[in-house]
Amino acid sequence: MKSIFTRNWRRTVKATLTVIALSLFVPSLALASHGSGEEGGHGSHFALVLAFLGVIVVLAKVAGSIAERFKQVSVLGELLLGIALGIPVLFGWHFFDGFKENELVLFISELAVIVLLFQAGLESNLHEMKRVGMKAFIVAIVGVIVPFVLGTYVLAPWLFPEGTSNFALFLGATLTATSVGITARVFKDLKISQTKSAKIVLGAAVFDDIMGLIILAVVNGIVQSGHVGPGEIAWISFKAVAFLVVSIFVGRLLAPHIGRFLSRISSGVSMKMALALAFAFGYAYLGSQFGLAPIVGAFAAGLLLDSVYFSRFVHPKLTNEIEKIVEGCQDARVSSEVQETLKEHRHRHIEDLIEDFGHWFIPVFFVVTGMAVNLSVLADMKVLLAALALTVAAVLGKIVSGFFAGKGADWKVVGLGMVPRGEVGLIFAAIGRQSGVINDEAFAIIVVMIILTTFITPIVLPRVIKKSVEEKPVETPVV
């Protein structure tokens, strides 16, 4: 055990040194860019931007891996890397200003958000939502309403008395987000994924995503229209809900026919990927045409696509080869387990493809978001106290939802499982900053809150689970 720990620790140290070495290389690129922007022209600057992106992707992956070694999500490492790259600004060295505001970098960041929400939609299991039923729905509603009210009507007037009503709405919307990726991993590690508490959390997360995006659509619409009124709120809410319902319904009617037609032209993996991305980008465009954020459309595209729509495309070559080998296996148990694994992999193949597609540029979004944090504002003790207060409210707002989990579920496990904000909260905050509603100080405070809520969950949740009475796996009936 000691040797394994030592080996893992050495790997972590090596990875950290790699980050430091590459971090020293990045400023030299930035300095070169500053000089060549005047002499080398557009071509030279573009090449340096590409070099910067290449280094950032590698840095982000290393930082993400380091975070994972400490039982954290990779997003946290990527975000902290971006914040670390902003440290030179404190000394008056604006190495990266030209990069983080570059059109290509910003485009990749926006594209990353669309793919990220499309991925979230694909991962959302509507059938599982039906199984966990009303309890998960109630937990999600409470977990959205309580933080929104706390953020909009309590924290915003208290912490930001000079803030506008639009800012208060955006702050509340940011607190509604839930990112249970890290919670799901804790459940899996402790082998409690099939308990009632775990199923309620994972089901509520899907409802939470949908309601959070509707709230974001409403808040963003109010900001764009410039005025708040019951009629305006009702109209934007109706548009958001109608878009999700109609787009999913129509998409599920069209997707099988489009898939069948394209598979006749080419049934390879590339066409399968093209079909999925066409829905993601097409729905993102439709969402923007409806006056909603493009990410709402991307999420809807992920929700509507089912693996059955890709059944006419060829399966991955590796799974086919493994299946041929297993056919001659004499051990029935091994053969059955392998077949089940292959079936699951084929079912998830499109999710895996999109995940691989996003690997190289989704980290750019989190790094750029971290770089956007103005570290100088964190030198003010009032700002740090505000971040702490916001974090406490963010945690309490979600823990309250655990009380509505019902009998047979541990309210502490459910409540803490809903706490992490992660990538969804960052997306909300980034949109608010881009629209000019959230200033540098508030943005830094929100990012600190997101880091803390993401950081504490894998530390506190396992201890709570181990102390609670062990639950029996319960299959909630379909309602």
Give the domain range for residue 20. Answer: 2-101
Can you give the pLDDT of all 479 residues of the chain as single tens digits? Answer: 455 445 555 666 665 666 556 555 555 555 555 554 444 555 667 777 888 888 888 889 889 888 888 878 788 888 899 888 888 878 777 777 777 778 888 888 889 889 988 888 887 766 666 666 788 889 999 999 999 999 999 999 998 888 888 888 889 989 988 877 777 777 776 777 777 888 888 888 878 888 888 888 888 777 777 666 677 778 878 888 888 888 888 888 888 888 888 888 887 788 888 888 999 999 999 988 887 888 888 888 888 887 666 767 766 666 666 766 677 666 667 667 666 766 666 666 677 788 888 888 888 888 988 888 888 888 888 889 999 999 999 999 999 998 998 877 788 888 998 988 877 788 888 888 888 888 889 999 999 998 898 888 888 888 888 777 554 444 443 44
pTM recorded for the entire structure: 0.78
Single out the residue in 60, 77, 101 at which a domain terminates.
101
In this structure, is residue 107 part of a structural domain?
no
In this structure, is residue 446 part of a structural domain?
yes
Domain check: are 84 and 169 in the same one? no
In this structure, is residue 358 part of a structural domain?
yes
Domain check: are 82 and 209 in the same one? no
Domain check: are 219 and 296 in the same one? yes
CA 32 to chain centre: 34
Q: What is the DSSP letter of 178?
A: -
CATH number of 191's domain: 1.20.1530.20
Domain check: are 90 and 123 in the same one? no
Query: In what helix (H) or strand (E) does residue 50 lie, and over which residues does it extend?
Result: helix 41-69
Asked if 227 contacts 205 with a C-beta cutoff of 8 angstroms, the reply is: no
Which residues touch 322 (CB under 8 Å, ≥6 apart)? 338, 342
Single out the residue in 40, 69, 101 at which a domain terminates.
101
At residue 156, the 3 state secondary structure works out as helix
In this structure, is residue 475 part of a structural domain?
no
Residue with the two structure tokens 């909260």: 425
In this structure, is residue 431 part of a structural domain?
yes
Task: Label residues 318-343 b or e (16+ Cβ within 10 Å = b).
Answer: eeeebeeebeeeeeeeeeeebeeebe
